[in-house]
Amino acid sequence: MAEAHQAVAFQFTITPEGIDLQLSHQALRQVYLSGLRSWKKRVTRLKNNVITGVYPASPSSWLFVVIAILATMYTRSDPSMGLIAKIQEHLPVSDSLSVQCRTVVSAVLFSTLLWLLLIFTMRLCLKQLLSYHGWMYEQHGKVSNTTKIWAAMVRIFSGRQPLLYSYQGSLPNLPVPAVKDTVKRYLESARLLMSDSEYERMTTLAKEFESSLGNRLQWYLKLKAMWASNYVSDWWEEYVYLRGRGPLMVNSNYYGMDFLYVTPTPIQAARAGNTLHACLLYRRKLNREEIKPSRVAVLNVPLCAAQCERIFNTTRIPGEETDSLIHWQDSEYVAVFHRGRYFRLWLYHAGRMLSPREIEHQIQHILDDPSPPVTVEAKLAALTAGDRVPWAQARKEFFSSGVNKRSLDCIEKAAFFVALDDDEQGMMGDDPAGNLDRYAKSLLHGKCYDRWFDKSFTVVLYKNGKNGLNAEHSWADAPIMAHVWEYVMTTDCFQLGYTEEGHCKGDVASSLPPPTRLTWDIPAECQERIERSLAVAQTLADDVDFHVLPIQDFGKGAIKKCKISPDAFIQIALQLAYYRNRGSFTLTYEASMTRLFREGRTETVRSCTSESCTFVRALEGGESKEVCRHLFRTAAEKHQHLYRMAMTGEGIDRHLFCLYIVSKYLGEESPFLKEVADDGYGVSYIIIGENMINLHISCKHSCPQTDSHKFGADIKKALMDLLELMSPEKPDPSKAEQNHSKNSKKDL
């Protein structure tokens, strides 16, 4: 409690002589500096809103337009064609101003209106330009004149120094595909997985849907598309994520790893110091909008940045029917979990950001704290790992007032969550492959009570200096968090660095207040609910069969030599591996981004196509290399075409999903709209540089037909077989020598 008393700005006591008021100048100074930092952020936010609001113009361009209009008027010309005079007649203060003043004011007003009109026109032109997607369908290295002209126009209207959100108002809205086109593409994707009778039945249902209910549902979607920024994203967030009543852990949350082969320091507190400081640096750049907008690499086409808004200071709040996402404008601390205890760690002091060395010092203070957890405090976070309804009920009943509410508010309003693990993880020891799998499972679900799965993300720091993260999925998709994590790791290792002893660089201010321990009052009934949630989460975690497979000497470089898209190459390899594993094909979903559109998130690419199946059957059937190569390229081109269609708003599943939601609102049932099973494999892959690919394979122990390790081996073999098939054939030296001798004899 001593730290709490020191933090009070003033104290008073009532005595017979009156009220004795005591002020703490140090505490008041901290309050002043914290408020000053907050106001600086508000001013920066206001300035950025102005700059973004007038982009691709700039605030200074207004002055240029005003001077140009006044200079033109000075030459006794009227660039407004009489509008300035009309404005002058209707000025409300015309009687109190001289004629010259009225003329200047009218000219300034006209100049402002002209400037705003020019901004609107430029934005409209850029929006129309960004609606063109023909460039995506052109062959690599063969750019048409139309696309060249289009690219030049985009550069002209894109401005020079965009902030993070500068292009948001210029991005086109996601188009609503025609029902007949979506139905046609759906039937094409489903044909190869159905028998003749099943396909005939589905075709009948599709035609009935297209001619009757589908058109009615489509009308509502078009109406929504005219009104909303994106006709999919809000429903996708609500119905796919927030209304899900099952556990977030494993089912929704995902993870990010540390470097596999490098650990910058073995000191846990030091790694935490650099990692947390790098997170703060990224947040500062985010708040100032100094992060450049993401773009498609080929022609620098901007992508939507809306998902970046909720990276920090965001928590998913459980509800009995639906959850909600709450985002706070700022938070100056993080919540830290260690050995069953929760702490508040302030990351700012005296109006400034703590240095890495100071954060290391504070983290070490937590690690050295010998106090034990109270009752079931250690397992409290299991509530966030179990089903959502019990957590919502427990939150309402036991955490809506008193000390529990204050401590829960501290966690939920934190910038992010930090878990300090006593375990050592990583690709190490006598069983590096097995340890790597355990490392991934630790990041995915931990012990089911040592991650706060509701926070936008949790930074995990292990005893041996390894780190990682676990991220909640509803607020954004994985590429957003991947960009953050890439920045954090590179800043940690290559910018901040460590001393020779492995500690963070810098000094520690002597006036730093220590981290504050959070307290709880958990009754027996709440303890029972925590145990029930933990049992649900533990069962789910134990059922996860996970395998991480790094493949060296195989990456983007090897695939490029085959002149095949790396994504298409890997997706076809997955089809080949699954066919060898199960002897059949199955519906396959690959996520594609739709961030070319405003507030776009993802679309599904159905990568199991008739072309890929034909190739796999030919390869396994012993067809010649020439035939297999031709079929492989055909399958790769088809996959690329489907991927491009998904990126440009011509996918299948998001449109069907929204039609399904509208049908539920209207109380209409359609046999055509159905769900998909989840008893297969989940495969995530990351291409690292030119010579490495990491595969993350998951399935369930409860499914007897699946085995992550066996499927991983099948994928690796499929990749190598395809690489051998598509690699340019090297000339046989013996044959070349024989040909040379024959030619020599002919010459003789």
DSSP string, 117-173: HHHHHHHHHHHHHHT--GGGGSPTT---HHHHHHHHHHHHHT-SS--TTTTGGGSPP
Asked if 701 contacts 545 with a C-beta cutoff of 8 angstroms, the reply is yes
Burial classification of residue 381, based on how many CB atoms lie within 10 Å of its CB (0-12 exposed, 13-18 middle, 19 or more buried) = buried
Q: What is the dihedral of CA 487, 490, 492, 498, to 10 degrees?
A: -170
* Residue 470 near residue 460 (C-beta atoms within 8 A): yes
What is the distance between the alpha carbons of residues 476 and 456, in angstroms, rounded to a whole number?
Answer: 9
Name which of 674, 648, 646 is nearest 659 in CA terms: 674
Contact 450, 337 (CB under 8 A): yes
Bridge partners (DSSP) of residue 686 are 694
* Tokens matching residue 406: 């204050």
CB contact set of 399 (below 8 Å; sequence gap of 6+)? 405, 408
Two structure tokens written together for 677: 């099973």
Residue 530's alpha-carbon distances to 80, 244, 398, 413, in angstroms, are: 72, 20, 12, 22
C-alpha to C-alpha distance for 326 and 297, rounded to whole angstroms: 33
Ranges assigned E (strand) in 202-248:
none
Cis before 372? omega within 30? no
Q: What tokens were used for 466?
A: 């390894």
Query: What is the C-alpha to C-alpha distance for residues 565 and 269, in angstroms, rounded to an integer?
Result: 42
CB 303 within 8 A of CB 595: yes
Q: Which residue has the tokens 């073995």?
A: 266
Contact status, residue 608 vs residue 635, Cβ threshold 8 Å = no
Exposed/middle/buried for residue 476 (C-beta within 10 Å: 0-12, 13-18, 19+)? buried
Q: Residue 79 corresponds to which amino acid? A: P
What is the rounded distance in angstroms from the CA atom of residue 91 to the CA atom of residue 88?
5
Residue 292: half-sphere exposure toward Cβ, Cα within 13 Å:
10
Kindly tell me the sign of the dihedral angle through the C-alpha atoms of 155, 159, 161, 166. negative
- Catalytic positions are 473
Separation CA 433–CA 508 (nearest Å): 40
Is residue 271 within 8 Å of 264, Cβ to Cβ?
yes
Single-letter amino acid code for the residue at 444: L
Euclidean distance between CA atoms 485 and 469, whole angstroms: 8
Please, which residues have CB within 8 angstroms of residue 190's CB and are 6 or more apart in sequence?
199, 202, 587
